[in-house]
Structure 1
Amino acid sequence: MTNPTPGSLIWEEVPDAAPAPGEVLIDVAAAGINRADLLQVAGKYPPPKGASPYPGMECSGVVATGSGRWRVGEEVCALLPGGGYATSTAVDAEHVLPIPKGVSLIDAAGLPEVACTVWSNLTMVAGLRAGETILIHGGGSGIGTFAIQYAKALGARVLTTARSEKHAALKALGADVTLDYRTDDFTGVGADVVLDIMGAAYLAKNLAALAGNGRLVVIGMQGGRSAELDLGTLLAKRASVFGTTLRSRPSAEKSAIVAGVERDVWPLIEAGAIRPVIDRTMPMTEAKAAQEVVASSDHLGKVLLTSSWGAGGSARG
């Protein structure tokens, strides 16, 4: 066994996860891939202190060791600080969710990270309301496909940017207007809320896209981390700019977000207003190839890794 270098993933035997007091041990059925996983493997996004060193910020599976409300044998999904790319993982009991009715155990692996990210940013931070207009960048991603559906369920008018070949699918999810970020200008759309994954490259254009009293929520830096902010535009529009992450939040804040998702979002899923959008599933032993699919942005929705229980392995990165 060799230690992986940044950018590599090696499937190897590692010690079993051991739950601490207040934690649940989950036999992992599937794990969702997020862009933060790619950054971690590249050596650019280390896990929080005390978290598992292995990638994977969400999973679904069966409770192997219970805690709190969770009992052995229950099917669950969970928001993780890391460790999802494995056959078992330990997680705070308050960061575990039931599988929504009508969702398969495997598909549920693609819900916790996107649901918690979208709910915390659109509801907690931006306060998106019925009748408002939202511009969602990266509409074809896991976050994007979920945010389109959630915003539509709240009664918002939804605009999204994505490659043109994804537009039909995004309109089927509820997008009112689809824009190709390679050719279309979105600066004059008058959005009350902008959900942005690009960061620096889109900062000026996002400010131009805001309506008066608009709220820009930056959740990613795919387009860089440093840009000049035109304070004149910000003041003239009485606009607000927020920057948030989910993984590094204190455990208590994550617990509150998970509880809010179960209260507000899970009923929408069970009613059919939101569904998990799964592009494909791949064996966890092929994690590197699966991450390359996500890096290409050719997928629509989530890419999931499926596990075989009892293998005792973990994808290190």
Structure 2
Amino acid sequence: MAGITVPDTMHAAGFDAPGGPDVLRIEELPVPRPGAGEVLIRVAYAGVNRPDVIQRQGFYPAPPGASPIPGLEVAGEVVATGDGIEQRPLGQRVCALVTGGGYAEYCLAKYAHCLPVPGDLSLAEAAALPETLFTVWHNVFERGWACEGETLLVHGGTSGIGTMAIKLARLFDLTAIVTCGSEGKCDAARVIGADHAINYRTEDFVERVKAITGGAGVNLVLDMVSGDYVPRNLACLAEDGRHVTIAVLGGMKAELNMAQIMARRLTLTGSTLRARTDAFKAAVCDEIARTVWPFVENGKLRPEMDRTFPLAAAAAAHARMEAGEHIGKIVLEM
């Protein structure tokens, strides 16, 4: 292992048993050592995401071989490298998609899953990019085949995923329609860049989408709700429309009219990211580096930031996310 001197132990936020936000507590653990193709990052900030909350609740365990510590994205400095890395990344500022371990002072990442942090991008902002950027890019553009000039419907418009979808839609010439749970959040979504924002508590989003699109419908739905939203989402789709599910917050089962799907040539798909192979994530990272990262480097793409909490207040960060008060990304500062 090449590198600079690092301590033997570190502080991390973990939990002994599933439960509410208060089960999170600070523990002292050995600093991990990088294996082949891995780097050790001295974490400056870690992103907080909905899957972290679901893991803490006991419904989304870490995949085999992954760290049980929550946290799927980090930003900081490379302080050690494992074998098999031809580049010289020591001292480099990077952000990374990781399978776990982000809520800690040091975290392992595959170097192929890292992106360089430009000088004018803060490490807090950098930590807020990988999870949502990988997720939205893969599901909207790779799996959902979004094309210039199309219309996209996104639920949870002020979430981390929703705000990233809005920003990428603007960069790649899509019309973005989002749903939100209050007028204040609808206003925030429009400021962020949504073309249309629908308050799902006071309006029927299916009827509003039909009105906005002149009855044509949207080309693509990015769905984080599932359950009884699915048939309503399909009613929003234009012919040859695509429906991509990335979470099942509203339930895992949906009742569908397959004859309508056939007649209108609809495509239903979905994905999860965390358990995909290292090679798959490296391929997505490479495509993002080529197609999206130039917008980060020139300042045209920045994450929507909500609030920063110290690592010791990870429970408060989770409570804020569960309350649904956030607009954009929550990060933890080490």
Residue 36 of structure 1: aligned partner: 51
Match of 2:63 in 1: 48
Give the drift of 1:221: 0.6
Partner deviation per Cα, 1:100-125 (whole Å, 9 max, x = no partner): 45311121100000110011111111
In structure 2, distance between residues paired with 1:146 and 1:249: 21
Residues 1:6 and 2:18 are matched in the alignment = yes
Matched, 1:168 2:183: no
1:178 alignment partner, one of 175, 197, 209: 197
- The answer (yes or no) to whether the contact 2:15–2:56 under 8 Å persists in 1 is no
State the match for 1:314 in structure 2: none
Residue aligning to 1:71 = 89
Inter-partner Cα distance in structure 1 for 2:81 and 2:115: 13
CA RMSD of aligned residues (A): 1.4
Counterpart in 1 of 2:104? Answer: 86
Q: Is the 8 A contact 2:228 2:255 kept in 1?
A: no
Which position in structure 1 is the counterpart of 2:309? 282
Alpha carbons of structure 1 residues 299 and 122: separation in structure 2 relative to 1, 3 Å: same
Corresponding position of 1:194: 221
Equivalent position SS for 2:332: strand
TM-score, normalised by the number of residues in structure 1:
0.93
Report 1:1-317 matches (<5 A).
4-7=16-19, 8-66=23-81, 68=85, 69-163=87-181, 164-188=183-207, 189=209, 190-307=217-334
Extract unaligned runs of 5+ from structure 1: 308-317
Report the Cα distance in structure 2 between the residues aligned to 1:101 and 1:295, rounded to whole angstroms: 33
1:14 match: secondary structure:
strand
**Which secondary structure state, in structure 1, belongs to the residue aligned with residue 242 of structure 2?**
strand
Q: 1:101 to 1:196 in 2, by over 3 A?
A: farther
User: Is the Cα–Cα contact under 8 Å of residues 32 and 109 in structure 1 kept in the other structure?
Assistant: yes
The Cα shift of 1:151 comes to 1.1
For 1:73 and 1:269, the matched residues in 2 are separated by: 20
Aligned length: 306
CA contact (8 A) 1:213 1:237 kept: yes
Q: Indicate if the aligned counterparts of 2:153 and 2:176 stay in contact, CA closer than 8 A.
A: yes
Distance in 1, Cα, partners of 2:235 & 2:121: 39
> Distance between the aligned counterparts of 1:27 and 1:192, measured in 2?
42
Provide, for residues 270-290 of structure 1, a one-character-per-residue CA deviation record: whole Å limited to 9, x for no partner: 333321111010001111110
CA distance in 1, matches of 2:155, 2:88: 36
Aligned counterparts of 1:179 and 1:37: Cα–Cα separation in 2: 27
Structure-1 separation of matches of 2:120 and 2:31: 31
| Contact 2:139–2:270, Cα closer than 8 Å, also in 1 | no
Contact 1:281–1:306 at 8 Å: present in 2 too?
yes
Query: What percentage of aligned pairs have identical amino acids?
Result: 43
State TM-score, norm by structure 2.
0.89
Q: Is the 8 A contact 1:30 1:305 kept in 2?
A: yes
Could you tell which deviates more after superposition, 100-109 or 117-126? Answer: 100-109
Distance (whole Å) between structure 2 residues aligned to residue 70 and residue 51 of structure 1: 25
Whole-angstrom distance in 2 between the partners of 1:277 and 1:79 = 18
How far residue 91 of structure 1 moved from its aligned partner, in angstroms, is: 1.2
Q: Which amino acid in the other structure matches residue 66 of structure 1?
A: T
Kept after mapping to 2: 8 A contact 1:63/1:70: no
What letter is aligned with 1:37?
D
Runs of 4+ in 1 over 3 A off after TM superposition: none
**Contact 2:219–2:240 (CA<8 Å) still a contact in 1?**
yes
Give the residue type in structure 2 aligned to 1:207. Answer: L
- C-alpha contact 1:100 1:266 (8 A) present in aligned 2: no
DSSP 3-state at the match of 1:246: coil
Amino acid at match of 1:117: T
Cα pair 1:70 1:93 within 8 Å, conserved: no
Tell me how far apart the structure 2 counterparts of residues 271 and 278 of structure 1 sit (CA, whole Å).
18
Partner Cα distance (2:15, 2:179) in 1 = 39
